[in-house]
Amino acid sequence: MNTTSPNPTLVLSAIYDQATIRRRKWRMIKDKIAQHSMTIGGISVIIAIVLIFFYLLYVVFPLLLPATMEKMQQFSIPAPTAGKTRYLAAEEQNEVGVRFTDQARVVFFKLTDGSVIAEQALPLPAAVTMTQLAIANLSTGVIALGLSDGRALVIKQTYDISYPNGVKVITPGIKYPLGEEPIVVDKVAGTKALRHLAVQLGETTNTLAAITADNRLVLTSVVKEISFLDESVTLKRTDGVLSLLLPPSTQVTHLLLDKPQRFIYVADSEGYISRIDISDKKSPHILERIRVVKAAQAITALKFLTGDISLLVGDSSGKITQWFPARDANNNKTLRQIREFNHQTAPIVDIAIEERRKGFVAADNQGQVGIYHSTAHRTLLVKSVTSGIAIQQIALTPRADRLLVEDEQGRIQLWKIHNEHPEISWSALWSKVWYESYDQPEYIWQSSSASNDFEPKFSLTPLAFGTLKAAFYAMIIATPLAILGAIYTAYFMAAGIRKIVKPTIEIMAALPTVILGFLAGLWLAPMIEANLPGVFLLFLLLPSGVLLFAYGWNRLPRAIRYVIPDGWQSTLLIPILLLITWIAFELSHPLEKGLFNSNLPNWLTTQLGIAFDQRNAIVVGIAMGLAVIPNIFSIAEDAIFSVPKHLTMGSLALGATPWQTMTRVVILTASPGIFSAVMIGMGRAIGETMIVLMATGNTPIMDFSIFQGLRTLAANIAVEMPESEVNSTHYRILFLAGLILFIFTFFFNTIAEIVRHRLRRQYSSL
Amino acid sequence: MMKDWWKSGDPWIWLTAAAVSVNILVVCGLLILIAVRGLSHFWPTAVMEAVYTEPRGQESRLIGEIRDQETIPTARLHNPGYEITTEQVTRYLIKTGNRKLLGMDFRWVLEPQLHNRQYPKDILVIEQREWGNSYGYLKAVKQTGQIVSEDAIVAVTELQQRLQRASAIRDQIRQIEKYEIGKINYRLEQLRLYQRRLELNNLSDSIQLAEISRQKTALETEYQLLGQRLNHLKQEINRDSLTLEIMDGRLVEIPVANIVRFYYPNNLSLPEKLRFYTVKVKEFLLDEPREANTEGGIFPAIFGTIMMVFIMSFMVTPFGVIAAVYLREYAKQGWLTRTIRIAVNNLAGVPSIVYGVFGLGFFVYFIGANIDKWFFPKLYRRQHLAPRVYCGHR
């Protein structure tokens, strides 16, 4: 193009020249590509952020779902000629069901269609019929039959799984752990039928308990003794009798014997339960007889919750109550009502217990079943399953995912239950919960144990408390140091030193917290324990010593004072501080010897009753305080330093002292910035993991004492996540803890960010 | 005067100044603490020989490094077994080494019971591959059980040469174990996979199978040859040993193959100490750990850290830059960008454990558990076919 003599047509033709147009087009395309890829990139980052939040939510969400159940099958009772069902059960794999009939026959059937796999008569002596049936506990499959001649036969269901030709085969069968010969239970009355029967087989002790027609309790206990010398087995039988002393015309309705074979519970027709101590099998004695239902109501169902500590009482009004022995105000152990479930209205006919959780299913005589969980005090579902026909029996499979319901018209229904996380409710997570064997409701985190009977204690309160406690003590240390430091650095310090001091303090933010935690746990904690009086003295001496020195300095002649220019005070103070620290630690041991019996931690425990942990809140406060100081310092310093100079100059020119200018002008203007600094520090202290993990002892207790340890949400995740089962309730609760932390810190940081945005706009208007 | 000073606000300024000083002291103190504690670990400590009176009165010889020392009230010693009249007593933590022979590496001894402390120049420290350090006097160097040298000075040069020989053999063993046998294993595995592929596609014919088995036998012969060489080398490396007199007077045989290094700690000049220090630091940074991570180096951990940082930067940096450019240049400034900016700033404050939980749950348990299902649905289904169920009765 000719630039010396501009020719409009030439220029125009150059602009509309084919090559130029093509190039321009290409440029536009490139621009579009860049724009789109940038947009996609930007948005994908936001998607990533949202993904984290929603993934956490996605894992936590099933905790909130109620239980559901759906009908799978319905069939008429298999082998109806065998008699009426006395006991209904199913095995682990949800494939074989079993019913024990009143004619002492056993019918195994397929759960899929109700077809009979096997039917078998139990070997009773001639001319003897079965009168009673007692279940030991669900996981062993042991059952006792009470016979019309006062004897009892103990049987055990077995389900053997084998894989001939790679195909799973379940072979059900019956065994006789105490022999096929029935055992005489009631030695006195001889051949009279037993009214009620209970059985427990233990590793060495087996106990049978029965109620006779004249309301006596008879106990038969067989102890297996293995000789140390020749390992020969001798069986020792002990018998005990106890008269229940019930009022006339009162009948026993239920009899329960617990797994450790220590207590017997007898329910009677007046609505009372008697608790009987049988730890001495020869002489059982009644501990108490207590009314468990309202007047004019009767006990219609009585079962142990798994673990055999709690009793579940179903009454004729459809209410289910949970009871276990706990100490009352007078320190006596009595049976106490722990909680009640009030969601059914017809008399409860049967309660089925979950084998591996503290849950149960109750059925009433109007065809409704309710799914409950005791610890969480949660009613997960109440559903009518037989459209009004009374239910006779229900049975849960060992995994508690199938429910068998037999109604009065002789039909069996198979229901599938989805009930993954019944343990969780708002009250289980955040309120005091009355756990089994505790004397009052408490906040406890104790997530797992090796035993199936264990009641998981999922209270997040002690963890949230620990998190806040750690953050509180850290902030007590960090806030004054950081903010006062920021004030001096930004406003009073000589510019030359400020350039060194600021980055030095900010270095600490780059120090991995695992190092701080490691030092806190292994060096600081023992050091503080050994020099506890010195540490307290230090907190006292530091401010007073500095003030004393400042006053002394002020009284010095000017000639000396003017050697050190303004803004160098902090340098001057360094040797003074070192001296004070040295004095405090030197005084520590003499002080301890003079006042505290030469061991302050011990003295605290014995004299004041304050427990002392080596890894305590002081250690966490100092260590985490150090981790937080640079964050707060940096932001607060920036905020103070960027207060416009014309404001401070004006204030000084009007005659205000530097300190007055500081408090009345600078801090006021910078206060939002300082606030946001504290918020960000707080957010960091709440989410900090490694320091609290290594320096606190991780004891989930609720105690605000500075001498006690704690456990935070973050440390709890770190400790328990590796061993939690995927998608279990425990796993999801740990995710919930993560979500809570996420929301906590997001909350604090958002406040800080919004305040900072405001501040920036405010400065720009000044 | 006092009142005026108070009113001027000066004391407050001093207090703020003190806060800065405390911060600086803490930062520097922390760094110095870490540096001193960490870096002093490798400096060769003098090894002391002393006579120690045991609680029951007999005297014994003690050889070891003083690792720690503290002064405690006598009352804190429960049943020390001595008459101690002073109120305070100093005690030393002594690393006596010879864990295999004495049963413990460290012991606490009371200062008043320690006599005749000296630092003989000919105490030898042997760093072993197993069982920690050994302290004592070099008595002899042996080859296949025959004494080669008993003279202290000659023995040291002998030992030096034999140590080099052993380490050369060790390198060869390592070369064979790690690379050559590894190569054979890799090729065997490739053959197995090839055979499996043929089977799955129903392509296997006798010629190919014969070829595979021929290659297999060839590899196995090669493997056996290597095994023989390995056995020979292992015999060779165990040829030499030395005799050491340890603190209770016992004479101990230590195979040269078990020695990492040996030195006379009380006879080191400053340059030698510095050299020793550098070697130890180098070992710490560049070697693999030994003895369940209590000895040796931390190279794998350093490697892992750097690797992680590299992968992270590689994957995340483009995202971060693109998002920043987008926010600044392309997005319309408004409430949306402001929200995004706050959210992004917030993410920096979200505790790392939350990211950890997310990573474990999402990448390991969610994607990790489903990736086979997504990419190999056929194979996946075949594996998860439920077996048919029969019920029988006994």
B209 touches chain A (CB under 8 A): no
A714 touches chain B (CB under 8 A): yes
**Least Cα separation, residue B364 to chain A (angstroms):** 11
- Residues in chain B, how many? 394
Tell me which of A678-687, A689-698, B262-271, B321-330 is least confident.
Answer: B321-330
**pLDDT tier at A18, thresholds 50, 70, 90:** confident
- As given in the structure block, the two tokens for residue B118 are 């000296």
Q: Considering A241, A263, A291, which residue would you say is the last residue of a domain?
A: A291
A512 touches chain B (CB under 8 A): no
**Least Cα separation, residue B260 to chain A (angstroms):** 30
Mind listing the pLDDT tens digit for each residue in B1-25?
678 788 888 888 889 999 999 999 9
- pLDDT greater than 60 at residue B392: no
**Least Cα separation, residue B298 to chain A (angstroms):** 16
- As given in the structure block, the two tokens for residue B384 are 């998860």
A115 touches chain B (CB under 8 A): no
DSSP A710: B
Chain B, nearest residue to A725 by Cα = B365
Rounded mean pLDDT of A734-750?
Answer: 89
Residue A731 φ then ψ, to 5°: -60, -45
B193 touches chain A (CB under 8 A): no
Residue A449 belongs to a domain:
no
Mind listing the pLDDT tens digit for each residue in A394-446?
999 988 899 999 988 888 999 999 988 998 888 889 999 999 989 999 999 98
Of all residues in chain A, the percent with pLDDT exceeding 70 is 97
Statement to judge: residues A507 and A636 lie in one domain: yes
Mind listing the pLDDT tens digit for each residue in A148-207?
888 888 889 888 888 887 788 888 888 888 888 888 887 765 667 788 888 888 888 888
Rounded mean pLDDT of B123-149?
Answer: 84
Contact criterion met (CB < 8 Å) for A117 and B391: yes
Rounded mean pLDDT of A573-601?
Answer: 86
Rounded mean pLDDT of A138-145?
Answer: 84
CA A446 vs CA A425, A460, A469, A700, B152: distances in Å: 16, 10, 19, 8, 63
Q: In this predicted structure, what is the pLDDT of residue A7? A: 66
- pLDDT greater than 70 at residue A6: no
| Cα four-point dihedral sign A729, A731, A734, A736 | negative
- pLDDT greater than 90 at residue A5: no
- pLDDT greater than 80 at residue B239: yes
Q: In this predicted structure, what is the pLDDT of residue A60? A: 92
Taking the C-alpha atoms of residue A718 and residue B356, their distance in angstroms, rounded to an integer, is 9
Contact criterion met (CB < 8 Å) for A488 and B17: yes
Q: In this predicted structure, what is the pLDDT of residue A226? A: 75
Rounded mean pLDDT of A617-630?
Answer: 92
Domain that holds residue A138: 124-291
Smallest CA-to-CA distance from A623 within A558, A691, A572 is with A691
Tell me which of A236-245, A458-467, A511-520, B304-313 is least confident.
Answer: A236-245
Statement to judge: residues A239 and A353 lie in one domain: no
B357 touches chain A (CB under 8 A): yes
Taking the C-alpha atoms of residue A669 and residue A675, their distance in angstroms, rounded to an integer, is 11
Mind listing the pLDDT tens digit for each residue in A600-613?
888 888 888 888 88
Statement to judge: residues A518 and A646 lie in one domain: yes
Q: What is the ipTM of this complex?
A: 0.82
Residue A27 belongs to a domain:
yes
B361 touches chain A (CB under 8 A): yes
Contact criterion met (CB < 8 Å) for B19 and A481: yes
Rounded mean pLDDT of B242-270?
Answer: 85
Residue A450 belongs to a domain:
no
Q: Which residues of A touch B12 (CB under 8 A)?
A: 659
Query: At which residue do the structure tokens 């409950």 appear?
Result: A372
Residue A427 belongs to a domain:
no
Statement to judge: residues A690 and A642 lie in one domain: yes
B9 touches chain A (CB under 8 A): yes
Chain B, nearest residue to A590 by Cα = B73
Residue A45 belongs to a domain:
yes
Tell me which of A5-19, A451-465, A535-549 is least confident.
Answer: A5-19
Could you give the number of structural domains in chain A? 4
A547 touches chain B (CB under 8 A): yes
Residue A426 belongs to a domain:
no
User: How many C-beta atoms surround the C-beta of residue A563 within 10 A?
Assistant: 9
Chain A, nearest residue to B9 by Cα = A659
Residue A124 φ then ψ, to 5°: -95, 150
Contact criterion met (CB < 8 Å) for B393 and A108: yes
Statement to judge: residues A536 and A652 lie in one domain: yes
Q: In this predicted structure, what is the pLDDT of residue B1? A: 66
Taking the C-alpha atoms of residue B101 and residue A310, their distance in angstroms, rounded to an integer, is 57
Q: In this predicted structure, what is the pLDDT of residue B303? A: 94
Q: Which residues of B touch A573 (CB under 8 A)?
A: 14, 17-18, 21
Statement to judge: residues A186 and A312 lie in one domain: no
Residue A494 belongs to a domain:
yes
Pick the residue with more confidence: A90 or B202?
Answer: A90
Statement to judge: residues A698 and A568 lie in one domain: yes
DSSP run (H or E) holding A475: helix A461-487
Mind listing the pLDDT tens digit for each residue in A93-105?
888 999 998 888 8
Taking the C-alpha atoms of residue A326 and residue A332, their distance in angstroms, rounded to an integer, is 8
Q: Which residues of A touch B389 (CB under 8 A)?
A: 95, 167-170
Q: In this predicted structure, what is the pLDDT of residue A300? A: 92
Residue B303 φ then ψ, to 5°: -60, -45
Question: A–B: how many Cβ contacts below 8 A?
Answer: 258
Rounded mean pLDDT of B333-358?
Answer: 80
Residue A291 φ then ψ, to 5°: -85, 130
Mind listing the pLDDT tens digit for each residue in A447-486?
887 777 788 899 999 999 999 999 999 999 999 999 999 9
Rounded mean pLDDT of A228-248?
Answer: 79
Mind listing the pLDDT tens digit for each residue in A115-141?
888 888 888 887 788 888 888 877 788
Residue A225 φ then ψ, to 5°: -115, 125
Q: Which CATH architecture has domain B48-121?
A: Roll (2.30)
DSSP run (H or E) holding B62: strand B59-73
Radius of gyration, CA atoms only, chain A: 38
Contact between A689 and A718 (Cβ < 8 Å): yes
Smallest CA-to-CA distance from A115 within A536, A514, A518, A412 is with A412
Tell me which of A115-129, A714-728, B328-342 is least confident.
Answer: B328-342
Please tell me whether residue A9 adopts helix, strand or coil conformation: helix
Statement to judge: residues A286 and A327 lie in one domain: no
Q: Which alpha helices (H) appear in chain B, and where do they start and end?
A: 2-7, 10-39, 99-102, 152-174, 181-200, 206-237, 270-286, 299-325, 335-349, 352-358, 368-375, 377-383
Q: In this predicted structure, what is the pLDDT of residue A610? A: 83
Chain A, nearest residue to B325 by Cα = A38
Residue A715 belongs to a domain:
yes
Query: At which residue do the structure tokens 């520090």 appear?
Result: A681
Q: Which residues of B touch A663 (CB under 8 A)?
A: 9
Statement to judge: residues A278 and A338 lie in one domain: no
Contact criterion met (CB < 8 Å) for B12 and A717: no
CATH number, domain of A357, equals 2.130.10.10
Statement to judge: residues A633 and A587 lie in one domain: yes
Statement to judge: residues A589 and A485 lie in one domain: yes
